[in-house]
Amino acid sequence: MEPSSLFLVIPGGWEWIVIILAILLLFGGRKIPELMKGLGQGMREFKKARNEASEDKKKPVEGEDNSEKEKS
């Protein structure tokens, strides 16, 4: 396996268990809900910004309609 392809490997069942245990040992049981709350807030903000950007993209530009009418 090439070193660059090592980052493309998705963890399997046992790897997830080891990752979860390491997180529990590092942060403790009381800190986990706070971390998940912050993660959820970040995801909500990202979705909100993504939706606003797609809505802005769909809106026509104000000056664009007038310039097309003047050309014809």
Give the CA distances from residue 8 to residues 5, 17, 19, 62, in Å, rounded to whole numbers and listed in that order: 5, 19, 17, 45
- Cβ 19 vs Cβ 27: under 8 Å: no
* Amino acid (one-letter) located at 53: A
Residue 65 has pLDDT above 60, yes or no: no
Q: pLDDT of 26-43, one tens digit each? A: 888 888 888 889 999 999
User: Has residue 68 got a pLDDT over 70?
Assistant: no
Whether the model pTM is above 0.75: no
Amino acid (1-letter code) at residue 56:
D
CA dist., res. 56 & res. 18, Å (int): 43
Q: Which residues contact 11 (CB under 8 A, 6 or more apart)?
A: 19
Q: Say how far apart CA 61 and CA 69 lie, in whole Å.
A: 14
